[in-house]
Structures are given as structure tokens and as C-alpha cells.
Amino acid sequence: MTELVWIGFLALFLALLYLDLSVLHREAAELSVRQALSWTAVWVGVAGSFTFVIYGLYEYHGFDFDPWHGATSGSDAVLQFVTGYLLEWSLSVDNIFVIALIFAYLKIPTLYQYRVLFWGIVGAIVLRGLMIAAGTALLAQFDWMFYVFGAVLLVSALRMLRDDDEDRDFGSSFPARLVRRFVPVTEHLDRARFFVRRDGKLYATPLFVALIMVELTDVVFAVDSIPAILAVTRDPFLVFTSNAFAILGLRSLYFAVAGLMSMFRYLRYSLVLILAFVGVKMLLVSRYHVPNLVSLGIIVGTLAGGIIASLVATRIERAANDR
């Protein structure tokens, strides 16, 4: 029964979220870069372990699982899952840069950032689920939507190349103005609280403003990432699970990347190339099919190229400064 598989996965995902917040990080504490990298490795390992479940479901149709369409075998399904996971994981990096700027603008201490990111992830999963359902339905009904999504990705790549996040005025952004329109906002934080009551009146804290800004930022980035992964597979289960596992490790990845942000100056150009590649792939869908293994190799190679170029540039700069 396909419904049983979906229910089982959602139960597993909620259990992992509960484990992360209530057991592993029950007390607010700053996460060092080393700890963040360790937890990132743990969540990558959890996602890797899930590939065995994917293989069993699609190869042997465990629990009478009936794939929607796309994957023809267990190995094909695993390849699509891994490609989708890495694609979402890589596109999350640019999201992380913006989130870091939001926290810096609102002066959110590292101690409380974990709470914002947790509830941000809960909201992101719900919104992604709705967007994935809408995207797969549109592609099933209208083949020409591939060209629309491809164009969206190419425009997004161009926008990412031209935009400078550091010049953004987050104080006058739509999310900040939206919160202030409905509820007054305090000037200072009140520990990890999203709301406080003063003189019988309810106030939002800057922490809640940060949460709304993170949520709406994720919606904007989902406009890029959902069409991108739909270029890899149109199977809703593979799209959703790969997104869910990538988002699950986003908090640890944030603290790892935010702490090393200055070292990855060329990573954005890798993301631009990945978006452009996937966009072109969708535009050519009726003429040429890019094998999933080739797509995976291009994504991994482009990411590795950006990271290596950034590290080399940083090392050259340090050597020049030491002279």
C-alpha cells in the first residue's frame, strides 16, 4: 500500500525532528564549526541509509509500493534520489548565505539561531510538500510546463549572478513590513521567545521577525529548487524524500557554512552553473534526455570545482599577506 509507505516516512521524519530538537539539542547552546560538520555528516549518513529503503521499495515493491512513474528499477530510483538530494543540498547553500545576513541584520545571537532554523524547517517541509504536489500535477497535465520551469531556472541563475545579498535592506523587506503591520515588534530579544506580553498587549520579538523572513526566503528559493529537482525525477515520493532529508540537515549545514563563509567565495558561481544546466536540461527535454548519472556527475563536479577554487584563492591570499 503506497499510503502506508508515505505515512511511515512522515512518521520517521517527525521522529528525527523530535530527536534533533528535544533530545540532541534540548538546551540552547552555540554550535561550533567542528560540531556542525559532525552533525552534517550524521544527517548525510542518515540520508545515505535511506537509499536502502528506496532500493527495496522500487526494486522489490515492498509494502506493495506502487511508484508513480520515472524510476524503472531500484538502482535508478536511488540514483534519482541521490541526485535530487545533492541538488537541493547545493542550492541550499545560497539560502544559507541570505539567512546568515538576516541573523546579522536583526542581531540574532548564535545561541537562538537554532530555534529559528528548527521552526523554519517545519514550515519549509509543509510548503515544499504543497509546491511539489502542485509541480508534479502541472507537469502531468501540461508538458509545456517543462519549458516554463526551465525558463524560471535560467532567469534565477542570471538573478543569482547579478544580485549582491550584502546590499539588501532587510529592515524594509516585505516579511519585516508584514509582521509589523499586524503586530508591534519589540526592539530587543526576550531570550528565545517569539512573543511577549507587556501591559496586557502582545508583542512579537525580533526572533519572530527572523523566523518569518527565513520562511519566506525559503519559499523564494523553493521556486528555484522544486523545478530543478523535477528535472531529475517527477516521482513525488523521490522528490519529497530527497528534499526532506536535505532540509533536515540544513541547520547543521548552516552553522558549518556560516562559520566558513569567507572561504567559499566562488561557490555561488557553481550554483549559477548548476541552475543554468538544469534549466537547459528542462528546455531540451523533448529533444534530448540527459542521463541521471551524467546529471549527478555534473552537479558534483561543479560543486567540487567551486569549493576547490575558493580554497585555492584563500590559500593564495593568506600566503600573500604573510609575506
pLDDT of residue 51: 94
Strands 201-204 vs 195-198: parallel, antiparallel or unpaired? antiparallel
Q: What is the three-state SS of the chain? A: CHHHHHHHHHHHHHHHHHHHHHHHCCCCCCCCHHHHHHHHHHHHHHHHHHHHHHHHHHHHCHHHCCCCCCCCCHHHHHHHHHHHHHHHHHHHHHHHHHHHHHHHHHCCCHHHHHHHHHHHHHHHHHHHHHHHHHHHHHHHHCCCHHHHHHHHHHHHHHHHHHCCHHHCCHHHCHHHHHHHHHCCECCCCCCCCCEEEECCEEEECHHHHHHHHHHHHHHHHHHHHHHHHHCCCCCHHHHHHHHHHHHHCHHHHHHHHHHCHHHCCCHHHHHHHHHHHHHHHHHCCCCCCCCHHHHHHHHHHHHHHHHHHHHHHHHHHHHHHHC
Q: What is the pLDDT of residue 94?
A: 67
What's the pLDDT score for residue 52?
Answer: 94
How many angstroms separate the CA atoms of 138 and 135, rounded? 5
Residue 249's domain spans which residues?
2-322
pLDDT of residue 172: 56
pLDDT score at 161: 75
Note down pLDDT in tens along the chain; length 323 residues: 578 888 899 999 888 887 776 655 555 556 677 888 888 888 999 999 999 999 988 888 776 777 665 566 888 889 999 998 988 887 777 677 778 777 877 778 877 888 888 888 888 788 878 888 787 777 767 777 777 877 877 887 887 777 655 555 545 556 667 777 778 888 778 878 888 888 888 888 888 888 888 887 777 777 777 888 887 888 888 988 998 898 888 878 887 777 666 677 787 788 788 888 888 887 887 777 777 788 888 888 888 888 888 888 888 888 777 76
Number of domains in the chain: 1
What's residue 102's pLDDT?
A: 79
Strand partners, 185: 204
Q: What is the per-residue pLDDT for 173?
A: 57
